[in-house]
Structure 1
């Protein structure tokens, strides 16, 4: 089943709409941590910051912030990327017939063997974008050029394997909840005012080095890939600048798969929020984060703990983060 034309156009940057400003001469950001730095804002995580948030963990329930993977799940196949697939490589009855390890029918009938394999785009399910995911003018964050650092098997800088285990203060900004909505409207562009008003209602203040997660409510449509992907709400440029530059967020994320809203606000750039955060600010992006249980329990501040797969040279990696309530 193909995703609707609206999504395809958004993914390809072709939706009609009046951009707010031109791309101009935007260039990649240079890291304040030096010319060899590959971590960007992740440098804000320190031994002291980890100890500080862990000292506040209150115990009790751990909240799983990841989604399930299943055939037919939402994905970027409208942009030509592969869907999630899973298939069986060994089954109990099949092993008896084929005897792949030459153990004999009696052994295979006694010891049943089940095995499976998966294939998917790196930006499938709950995942984190590495800093090489988007760039500008042939460069990624900190001036690393594709001509110098990208080969047939991936990047030799800023790959997903460089992302450290993340332990930080997490903040949920439940924009949909603050508006008393199950889900933000289609194509809704989250503004700075939306974020500030929600934070005020939640009585939470952002701190430098936070993992900031935004709830649009889109997860209610997760089982229907077409409905989930079509005309999804997302972040606007002004809101992104508020999080990255003014508030000092270390990582930003949301419960949608595009993170930003379409159509683009910037003429000449179809994904300006991604290039701004990743290429200019060095702030990784998490997508498809499951936030429904936190929202239901009115938990807006927590210890965020997550590790992503160490996929060498990759531009993203799946992760299964958790949220622990704090006192």
Structure 2
């Protein structure tokens, strides 16, 4: 089968298309013919440095989220899954390929009316957005700042926080991304490449930080007493790393980003797929690349030239 190999750690060029052994559905597993593979910023960081949650040693195959159709089941798996459209995590590797074998217990049926690409775009980012929104508590009537608002998680947080009754300020880099944020219903959209962005954005009651670094720390300073800050990403290359003592002195809560239990993850994925089925949320799929062009997809993400979710089209 066709796949994209991580040949070594380094620049996007280390992702090389080639052939890979056909996976086999073992006991309790299903075989999925992949239509779309998810790409996350964390995967680009892992490819570059070898540091991160995946534990893949070159040569290996990246990819932690896919969507497609179940074609076979292994011993002990439900034969009724054959032919179903599903999305699933892969356990951290193997997603940049035509087929994957995964545990049957980890697949999610895609609701009728929800396109497969939409479901794949929501698999990781949707659960992350919902988890962060739950973590900060009620936001109705409050002013909420979303950093990286034109990213995969950010575009969903803009929609979800707005639907929960918040006044949403979306901060992103560049006028084109600001237009995307406005189109999603943000009450205000600011360009954090401009020196006056913080003055325009604040003060706020909640910060969702997907950037980290100096921008994340600047956003922290905009919080009113009683405010909450949830940091879920480090697109700048570092976390915001706000001093907890300073936060306590200002009366600001730093919401911990603990890894959720598997059962909660499943609940969140089901919830966001249900929201998509009711057209209550929609992912922004900014760019799609053929499987063989995974290196170009990684390069585009690292160049900050993408908005929303970037997908690999496999079939």
Task: Normalising by structure 1, report the TM-score.
Answer: 0.30
Which structure is larger by alpha-carbon Rg, 1 or 2? Answer: 1
Comparing both structures, which one devotes a greater share of its residues to helix? Answer: 2
